[in-house]
């Protein structure tokens, strides 16, 4: 990683640029508006996507991050459909975690139709654990963080939700930055081109209705949640 002195409250990992925006774009917009900081780290350049090019996708990703107010966006370039959990990939992710020193880490939920999303979840789980081990040597200090999962495809019962009623419009604009994926002019038909953004927003409304707000994003936790503690871990 070529970046130095990058610190943030939140560190969100995605297999491809647009994953984080789909699952938790509204939550990030909300938290950033409250004065917190966030970094997104994409694991690949999505070079096997049916529409668009890796170069254009990077431009779209930066635009989406700017819309949300993201502090910085990183890319580990592990290779699309090449996300595996081995020592090399674990170390690369650990280095990012220890550099950013987030209080909360997010990754995709490990039950998803796309293998890259599931493999990203597995890799981040391993890396979060290794990042906290003192003798796992990367030349950096160990770092422990809370770890939650956001949802990309499908609807799963969340362990908690975040009210994004005031931030869904900003999330929509961030998703719309990915024109090559969701609204390509000369692209081919994919699951992303057939009203996908509308489906994501509908899921937000379903989760919102469950807690009597207009829209909410759902998250999964591998550990029990302590009710009298701020679930974001940031005071």
pLDDT in tens, 91-111: 999 999 999 999 999 999 999
Q: Is the dihedral of CA 137, 14, 120, 211 positive or negative?
A: positive
Q: What is the mean pLDDT of residues 2-20?
A: 87
pLDDT band at 230 (very low <50, low <70, confident <90, very high): confident
> Where do the domains of the chain lie, and which CATH numbers do they carry?
10-221 (3.40.50.10320)
Q: How confident is the model at residue 51 (pLDDT cuts 50, 70, 90)?
A: confident
What is the model's pTM? 0.93
The per-residue b/e assignment along 15-28, b for 16 or more CB within 10 angstroms, e otherwise, is bbbbbbbbbbbbbb
Q: Would you say residue 148 has pLDDT above 90?
A: yes
Q: What is the pLDDT, as a whole number, of residue 54?
A: 87
- Residues forming beta bridges with residue 74, ordered by sequence position: 41
DSSP-derived pairing of the beta strands 216-221 and 160-163? antiparallel
pLDDT of amino acid 231: 72
Q: 225-233, long-range: CB within 8 Å, 24+ apart, which pairs?
A: 225/159, 225/160, 231/148, 231/160, 232/9, 232/10, 232/31, 232/36, 232/103, 232/104, 232/146, 233/103, 233/104, 233/145, 233/146
| Interval 141-146 mean pLDDT | 98
Measured between alpha carbons, how far is residue 44 from residues 84, 98, 110, 200, 205 in Å? 12, 20, 17, 22, 30
pLDDT number for residue 187: 81
- Predicted local distance difference test score (pLDDT) of residue 80: 83
The yes-or-no verdict on residue 234 having pLDDT over 70 is no
For the cut 50, the answer to whether the pLDDT of residue 117 exceeds it is yes
Predicted confidence (pLDDT) per residue in 206-219, tens digit:
999 999 999 999 99
CA torsion sign for 58, 63, 66, 68 is negative
Q: Identify the CA nearest to 204 among candidates 136, 155, 159.
A: 155
pLDDT of residue 79: 86
Instruction: Tell me the pLDDT band of 235, cut-offs 50, 70 and 90.
Output: very low
pLDDT at 229 over 80: no
| C-alpha of 217 from chain center | 12
Residues written for the chain: 235
For the chain, what is the mean pLDDT?
92
Confidence of residue 174 (pLDDT cuts 50, 70, 90): very high
């Amino acid at each position: 990683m070529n970046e130095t002195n990058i610190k943030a409250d939140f560190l969100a990992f995605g297999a491809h640029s647009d994953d984080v925006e789909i699952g938790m774009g509204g939550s990030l917009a909300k938290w950033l508006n409250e004065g917190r900081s966030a970094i997104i780290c994409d694991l690949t350049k999505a070079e096997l996507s049916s529409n668009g090019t890796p170069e254009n996708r990077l431009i779209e990703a930066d635009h989406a991050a700017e819309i949300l107010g993201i502090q910085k966006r990183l890319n580990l370039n592990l290779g699309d459909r090449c996300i595996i959990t081995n020592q090399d990939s674990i170390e690369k992710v650990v280095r990012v975690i220890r550099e950013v020193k987030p209080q909360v880490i997010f990754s995709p939920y490990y039950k998803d139709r796309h293998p890259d999303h599931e493999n990203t979840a597995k890799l981040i789980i391993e890396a979060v654990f290794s990042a906290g081990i003192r003798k796992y040597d990367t030349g950096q200090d160990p770092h422990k963080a809370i770890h939650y999962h956001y949802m990309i495809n499908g609807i799963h019962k969340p362990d908690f939700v975040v009210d994004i009623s005031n931030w869904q419009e900003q999330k929509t604009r961030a998703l719309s930055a990915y024109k090559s994926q969701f609204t390509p002019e000369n692209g081919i038909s994919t699951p992303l081109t057939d009203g996908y953004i509308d489906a994501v927003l509908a899921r937000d409304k379903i989760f919102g209705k469950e807690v009597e707000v207009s829209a909410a994003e759902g998250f999964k936790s591998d550990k029990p949640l302590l009710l009298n503690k701020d679930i974001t871990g940031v005071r």
